[in-house]
Structure 1
Amino acid sequence: MENFEINAKVRTDIGKGASRRMRHAGLIPAIIYGSGKDPVSLSLSHNEIINSLNNESFYSHILTVNLDGKSEKAVLKDLQRHPYKPSILHLDLQRVSDTEKLSLRVPLHFLNEENCVGVKQDGGKISHQMTEVEISCLPKDLPEFIEVDLVNVKVSEIVHLSNLIIPENVELASLAHGDLPVASVNLPRGTQEEEDQEEQKEEQKEEQ
């Protein structure tokens, strides 16, 4: 398992002007909060953070924040990117407690896409409606990703949130917004099978 460390310094110079000066110096303004402690403004190395963000696990992993000779556990709660430059403007870190559940978005890993029944047998095409989901759990149970096995999905079938296999002691918080589609397999537009299906639907409508 990856072990991510963030080296931070306490930031006392607050305000837009101070943040702008920090960014020119290769630093990122940030904040760490939560677990009943006061929020603390931080400055982080832009290069270190950019390198870490290239690793998908960084977004859904317990991070070690080194500050003033002490370390705290935290998760990346939010980040603000520059609208068109490859740079980070601000970072939010949330402290974690071993006894408090945390809510976090974790990525979906789609398995067996090439061996999917709807693709291999019927020439279907896979569409991803989601790339991540929100979960709730204690830090010790935090998964780095959720697997979505597509091997048995047929043409015109949809994988919903309720179809996902969620690890033990983990709640799928995204379900609070409804049983939304995660992925589906459909025939490419314009195929004969699709035209036949459309004709059948029209005939059924006329019969009703």
Structure 2
Amino acid sequence: MAEIKIAGEVRTEFGKGAARRARRATLVPAVIYGHGAEPQHVNLPGHELLLALRAKNVLINVEFGGKNQLVIPKAVQRDALKGFIKHVDLLAVRQGEKVTVEVQVVAEGELAAGGNLLEHVLNALPVEAEATHIPESVTVSVEGLEAGASILAKDITLPKGTTLAVDEDTVVLQVLAAQAEAPAEGEEAAEGAEA
């Protein structure tokens, strides 16, 4: 996983008015917390932060007040109508520290013939990984699976240094049998008339 550097500035003004002024200046108010330290309030450049947050579980190196802090995003608040970032909570991490995150589950391969459907019970798998080595996704093969088959969390091969943060018997993917289409009402009436 790549580390993204963002230069921020220490935030000294608080409240709605200060947040609005920051957003007008294309900055996003943020709070960095963790390790039992006092929360640190910063403003981050909106466009750079938006690009960084496109990657799930991104590792960000924030430079502010003459120091650097490695962080991962924990909560992002967006404007409901326009979608821009209003505020972000960042969790401070250290090299070698383990964090619990959700990693996207990617299914590959073809199901057995018959028009069966693959249901993602979990789109993201909770795992514990080193903060600087968070996997972007985990890939699961569904090649040739029949209706009724399921893949449990323990069946998924995780990258080295990553462990499950969910019960190992949790269903992640399952194959559902295809449903036969019911005939339309007009077709039923026509068949009844022919009989």
TM over 0.5: yes
Q: Distance in 1 between matches of 2:99 and 2:2?
A: 19
Q: Give the match's secondary structure for 2:23.
A: helix
In structure 1, the partner of 2:172 is 182
* Same amino acid, percent of matched pairs: 27
AA aligned opposite 1:102: V
Shift of 1:41: 0.5
Could you list the structure 1 runs, at least 4 aligned residues long, displaced by more than 6 angstroms after superposition: none
Indicate if the aligned counterparts of 1:60 and 1:145 stay in contact, CA closer than 8 A.
Answer: no
Q: Does 1:63 align with 2:53?
A: no
In structure 2, the partner of 1:45 is 45
Please, which of 98, 108, 113 is the counterpart of residue 111 of structure 1?
108
- Structure with the higher fraction of residues in strand conformation: 2
Per-residue CA deviations over 1:104-129 (Å, capped at 9, x if unaligned) read 222222222xx23x2xx222122222
AA aligned opposite 2:102: R
AA aligned opposite 2:126: E
Q: Distance in 2 between matches of 1:164 and 1:100?
A: 23
Q: Distance in 2 between matches of 1:99 and 1:69?
A: 23
In structure 1, the partner of 2:186 is none
Shift of 1:13: 0.5
Shift of 1:79: 0.9
In structure 2, the partner of 1:201 is none
Q: Distance in 2 between matches of 1:32 and 1:135?
A: 22
Q: Give the match's secondary structure for 1:43.
A: strand
- Structure with the higher fraction of residues in helix conformation: 1
AA aligned opposite 2:73: L
Please, which of 133, 151, 161 is the counterpart of residue 153 of structure 2?
161
Q: Give the match's secondary structure for 2:56.
A: helix
Q: Distance in 1 between matches of 2:50 and 2:179?
A: 40
Which of the two has higher C-alpha Rg? 2
Give unpaired runs (5+ residues) of structure 1: 193-208
Aligned positions of 1:1-208 closer than 5 A: 1-54=1-54, 58-112=55-109, 115-116=110-111, 118=112, 121-175=113-167, 179-190=169-180
Indicate if the aligned counterparts of 1:80 and 1:89 stay in contact, CA closer than 8 A.
Answer: yes
Indicate if the aligned counterparts of 1:160 and 1:181 stay in contact, CA closer than 8 A.
Answer: yes
AA aligned opposite 2:71: A
TM-score when scaled to structure 2?
0.81
Give the aligned CA root-mean-square deviation in angstroms: 2.2
Indicate if the aligned counterparts of 1:35 and 1:97 stay in contact, CA closer than 8 A.
Answer: no
Shift of 1:62: 2.2
The alignment of Structure 1 onto Structure 2 pairs a total of residues equal to: 182
Q: Distance in 1 between matches of 2:139 and 2:80?
A: 31
